[in-house]
Chain A
Amino acid sequence: MDIDALTLARLQFAFTVSFHIIFPAISIGLASYLAVLEGLWLFTGRVVFLDLFNYWKKIFAVAFGMGVVSGIVMSYQFGTNWSVFSDKAGPVIGPLMGYEVLTAFFLEAGFLGVMLFGLSRVGPRLHFLATLMVALGTFLSAFWILSVNSWMQTPAGYAINDVGQFVPADWLAIVFNPSFPYRLLHMLLAAYLSTAFIVGGTGAFHLLRDATLPASRIMFSMAMWMAALVAPLQIVAGDLHGLNTLEHQPAKVAAMEGHFETHAGAPLILFGWPDMEQERTRYAVAVPGLGSLILTHDWNGTVRGLKEWPPADRPNSTIVFWSFRVMVGAGLAMLAVGVWSLALRARRRLYEQPWLLRTSVALGPIGIVAVIAGWITTEVGRQPYTVYGLLRTAESASSIDAAAVGASLAAFALVYFTVFGAGAFYILRLMSKAPHP
């Protein structure tokens, strides 16, 4: 594959996966939320929980459908554009994805029909079981696909055979590879937080119109509890994930921090413009020593810079420096809303403070922004490899003409923007309806 076709294939993957990740993130969170709502309905007998369940079920159905169709695209794109990678890594990651299909996709699909349409046919208890199975399916799906991604980031438990394929040597080491637990925790919390802000923003939108509606109050309150409890946890999980990355992918961390030079007592560069050509971060605003403290938990710890790697092995710092800051900024904003809600809740003014409600509406999509920025950070940051340190992206692609990849990219862009644009519009319209019975 020539360079242009390679760039187009990478763009196609980035484009389709960025669209796709939105829907699983919402599905993971909403499936669990629906299970909680239905459980509360069964346990307390209060109809308001069933109303909320039916309200969010409709939105879940639209988001889930978009997740399914955009996910099928991903599972075939490995073969069309990245066939060399598929041939080489298939023996290791293929079975993990096979387990995702067998344990997660079938489970979700098998019980989705019952969950969406079957309450009157099977009764509340079996229906609750179906909801739980759908939620379990979304969790298992995250488990396996994050194991795959983590193995590509921190490969372990493999050998290389005589035709150059990665072959499994130790499945336990492959599945539970070094970055997997951190990535799984970080992504699950991200899905819950993203959903909490979507639910919270929707609740706030309706509270601004009618502050007495019980369903709006319940969804807003539940969302703010999630923000207050999960946002701090997520920051801890993110820090642990970052330390794990520093250990296994130090070049990625150097790019995230905009460090070109290796030094002890490294500064924390707050803002700046990492310039890959000039090998320095221009216009840097930095706090001395803080970089080492955060990364090594020691003021004088040594932090390696990008110049330790040959230029061909460096990830693009300009992109990941900024995507990382967008993610962290979004995380801090979510934390601030959580803390604010706690303060208002203590004074029993949670539903009456219009500025919190307005902020929540504005920040409805903030979790999704953080998810996409985070994935850009970790995926651009592991370049130039598909299997980290072992298989280069440029050596992973199929030998397909640039024209073919470009044409399919254009088709995907056109279809995704129209179809998923319409889907987003329908979801927003569903959300704009008040959660009346």
Chain B
Amino acid sequence: MMHLDLALIWAGLLAFAVLAYVVLDGFDLGVGILFPFMPGEKQRDEMMNSVAPVWDGNETWLVLGGGGLFAVFPLAYAIIMPALYAPVIALLLGLVFRGVAFEFRWKTERGKFLWDGAFAAGSTLAAFAQGIALGALVQGIPVAGRAYAGGWWDWLTPFSILTGIALVSGYALLGATWLIYKTQGDTQQRAYRFAAVAGGATLAAIGLVSLWTPFLSAVFMQRWFAWPRILFVAPVPALVALAAYVLFSALRRRHELSPFVASLALFVLCFVGLLISFFPYLVPTSVTLWEAAAPPSSLGFLLAGAVFLVPLILVYTAYSYWVFRGKIEQGGGGYH
């Protein structure tokens, strides 16, 4: 029998799940982040309607990311979760507030502004907490034996705050370009302006994080600047520059779909950059994916289902997006 590196396959699948989560929930969290900046109630209804049918599916990728980590890399899950305790709790509470707002805000006239506030604050908190968690992971987590060995506040550093801001900006960019694609008229015009601001902030944040990361650890430095590796990794920043150019020229020409695609490309490239820094560590730089992996019988059992379930999921998720294709009706009202 051919030898399969199940742990590596699973690391690839989980990386895909995390990327799918970031870009999909990214745009609907982004819509929440931009919510307070849209002045009219009708326009806010349109924003909500643009993500209402799909947000739940988008968020399920987060459950797959967490559940998958638990299933196939239990040691990494057991180390990372206590290390990121506070950001994870903040993320969960943020998701509670924004998730219920989708239904609650239609159930009350008087209290609608409260749930609009919950939607915006919850989305922003969830995005910021995710960014902090990412930064805390990148800067390294101390491990002793099979457990987290750091302190309660280790996650909070200038670097993690920067990554928190970076993710809020990036999600806002995804949300703004999604709205450009899904709305029309005044809502869309405002979304163009949001996209320009969020795009500028995102690129600045990408630049800062990229310059800072190699100095966090010799491993990262070596990954990016050692000869001849630099030849292989250099296309990543070059492509980021290209995506940024496409984004801003498409915004200037008032294209509708290409700003969203360019923003997605920015996220994919940043994710590739992270993989270059991380691989093969799950907990940088102490636990590799092979060290954290569950036994082959666990990996194989879940993989046997995943190989046909994940494509099936992609098919019916695509179907759901297709059902709700096209522009959102102007003036809100819509689904409820």
**A residues with CB within 8 A of B:** 61-62, 65-66, 68-73, 75-76, 78-80, 83-84, 86-92, 94-95, 97-103, 105-114, 116-118, 121-122, 133, 161, 163, 165, 167-169, 171, 398-401, 403-404, 408, 411-412, 415-416, 419, 422-423, 426, 429-430
Tell yes or no: B63 within 8 A of A by CB. Answer: yes
When the two chains form their complex, are residues B53 and A113 in contact, meaning their CB atoms are under 8 A apart? yes
When the two chains form their complex, are residues B75 and A87 in contact, meaning their CB atoms are under 8 A apart? yes
Q: Which 6 A-B pairs have the closest CB atoms?
A: A90-B74, A79-B81, A94-B71, A113-B53, A87-B78, A91-B294
| A79-B82 contact given A102-B313, A112-B56, CB 8 Å threshold | yes
Among B30-38, B86-94, B259-267, the stretch in contact with A: B86-94
**B residues with CB within 8 A of A:** 52-54, 56-57, 59-60, 62-64, 66-68, 70-72, 74-75, 77-82, 85-86, 88-89, 92-93, 95-97, 99-100, 102-104, 107-108, 111, 146-148, 152, 294-295, 297-298, 301-302, 305-306, 309-310, 313, 316-317, 319-320, 323-324, 335
Closest B residue, CB atoms, query A429: B107
When the two chains form their complex, are residues A116 and B295 in contact, meaning their CB atoms are under 8 A apart? no
List residues of chain A with CB within 8 A of the CB of B309.
Answer: 102-103, 106
List residues of chain B with CB within 8 A of the CB of A121.
Answer: 323-324
List residues of chain B with CB within 8 A of the CB of A113.
Answer: 52-54, 56-57, 320, 323-324
Assembly CA distance A114 to B313 (angstroms): 15
Assembly CA distance A401 to B154 (angstroms): 14
When the two chains form their complex, are residues A118 and B81 in contact, meaning their CB atoms are under 8 A apart? no
For the complex formed, measure the closest distance between the CB of B272 and the CB atoms of chain A, giving whole angstroms: 25
For the complex formed, measure the closest distance between the CB of A115 and the CB atoms of chain B, giving whole angstroms: 10
* Interface-centre pick from A61, A83, A95, A169 (highest chain B CB count, 10 A): A95
List residues of chain A with CB within 8 A of the CB of B52.
Answer: 113, 117
When the two chains form their complex, are residues B324 and A106 in contact, meaning their CB atoms are under 8 A apart? no
When the two chains form their complex, are residues A426 and B310 in contact, meaning their CB atoms are under 8 A apart? no
When the two chains form their complex, are residues A80 and B317 in contact, meaning their CB atoms are under 8 A apart? no
A106 partner, pick from B57, B148, B297, beta carbons under 8 A:
B57
When the two chains form their complex, are residues A400 and B103 in contact, meaning their CB atoms are under 8 A apart? no
When the two chains form their complex, are residues B320 and A94 in contact, meaning their CB atoms are under 8 A apart? no
When the two chains form their complex, are residues B74 and A86 in contact, meaning their CB atoms are under 8 A apart? yes
When the two chains form their complex, are residues B147 and A62 in contact, meaning their CB atoms are under 8 A apart? no
List residues of chain B with CB within 8 A of the CB of A404.
Answer: 85-86, 152
| A398-B82 contact given A75-B66, A105-B63, CB 8 Å threshold | yes
For the complex formed, measure the closest distance between the CB of B198 and the CB atoms of chain A, giving whole angstroms: 26
Assembly CA distance A308 to B8 (angstroms): 49
List residues of chain A with CB within 8 A of the CB of B78.
Answer: 79, 83-84, 86-87, 90, 398
In the complex, 30 of the A-B residue pairs with CB atoms within 8 angstroms, ordered by the A residue number, are A62-B103, A62-B107, A72-B62, A75-B67, A79-B70, A87-B77, A95-B301, A98-B68, A98-B72, A101-B60, A101-B68, A102-B309, A106-B60, A106-B309, A108-B56, A109-B56, A109-B57, A109-B60, A111-B316, A113-B53, A117-B52, A121-B324, A168-B295, A168-B297, A168-B298, A399-B147, A401-B152, A404-B152, A422-B111, A426-B108
Assembly CA distance A70 to B63 (angstroms): 12
When the two chains form their complex, are residues B68 and A65 in contact, meaning their CB atoms are under 8 A apart? no
List residues of chain B with CB within 8 A of the CB of A398.
Answer: 78, 81-82, 147-148
Assembly CA distance A111 to B315 (angstroms): 12
When the two chains form their complex, are residues A95 and B74 in contact, meaning their CB atoms are under 8 A apart? no
For the complex formed, measure the closest distance between the CB of A95 and the CB atoms of chain B, giving whole angstroms: 4
Assembly CA distance A102 to B308 (angstroms): 10
List residues of chain A with CB within 8 A of the CB of B99.
Answer: 65, 68-69
List residues of chain B with CB within 8 A of the CB of A80.
Answer: 81-82, 85, 88-89
For the complex formed, measure the closest distance between the CB of B316 and the CB atoms of chain A, giving whole angstroms: 5
| A95-B298 contact given A84-B78, A408-B85, CB 8 Å threshold | yes
For the complex formed, measure the closest distance between the CB of A15 and the CB atoms of chain B, giving whole angstroms: 14
List residues of chain B with CB within 8 A of the CB of A114.
Answer: 53, 320, 323
For the complex formed, measure the closest distance between the CB of A145 and the CB atoms of chain B, giving whole angstroms: 11
Assembly CA distance A91 to B92 (angstroms): 24
Besides A83-B77, A94-B67, A117-B52, 20 other A-B contacts (C-beta < 8 A):
A65-B56, A65-B99, A69-B95, A79-B70, A80-B89, A83-B82, A87-B77, A90-B78, A91-B298, A98-B68, A101-B63, A102-B310, A103-B309, A105-B64, A107-B316, A108-B56, A109-B59, A109-B60, A117-B335, A408-B86
Assembly CA distance A76 to B65 (angstroms): 10
List residues of chain B with CB within 8 A of the CB of A111.
Answer: 316, 320
* Interface-centre pick from A84, A110, A169 (highest chain B CB count, 10 A): A110
When the two chains form their complex, are residues B297 and A167 in contact, meaning their CB atoms are under 8 A apart? yes
List residues of chain A with CB within 8 A of the CB of B335.
Answer: 116-117
Assembly CA distance A416 to B93 (angstroms): 9
When the two chains form their complex, are residues A110 and B298 in contact, meaning their CB atoms are under 8 A apart? no
When the two chains form their complex, are residues A163 and B146 in contact, meaning their CB atoms are under 8 A apart? yes
For the complex formed, measure the closest distance between the CB of A404 and the CB atoms of chain B, giving whole angstroms: 6
List residues of chain A with CB within 8 A of the CB of B63.
Answer: 71-72, 75, 101, 105
For the complex formed, measure the closest distance between the CB of B55 and the CB atoms of chain A, giving whole angstroms: 9
For the complex formed, measure the closest distance between the CB of B141 and the CB atoms of chain A, giving whole angstroms: 12
List residues of chain A with CB within 8 A of the CB of B66.
Answer: 72, 75-76, 79
For the complex formed, measure the closest distance between the CB of B32 and the CB atoms of chain A, giving whole angstroms: 14
When the two chains form their complex, are residues B82 and A110 in contact, meaning their CB atoms are under 8 A apart? no
Assembly CA distance A111 to B108 (angstroms): 26
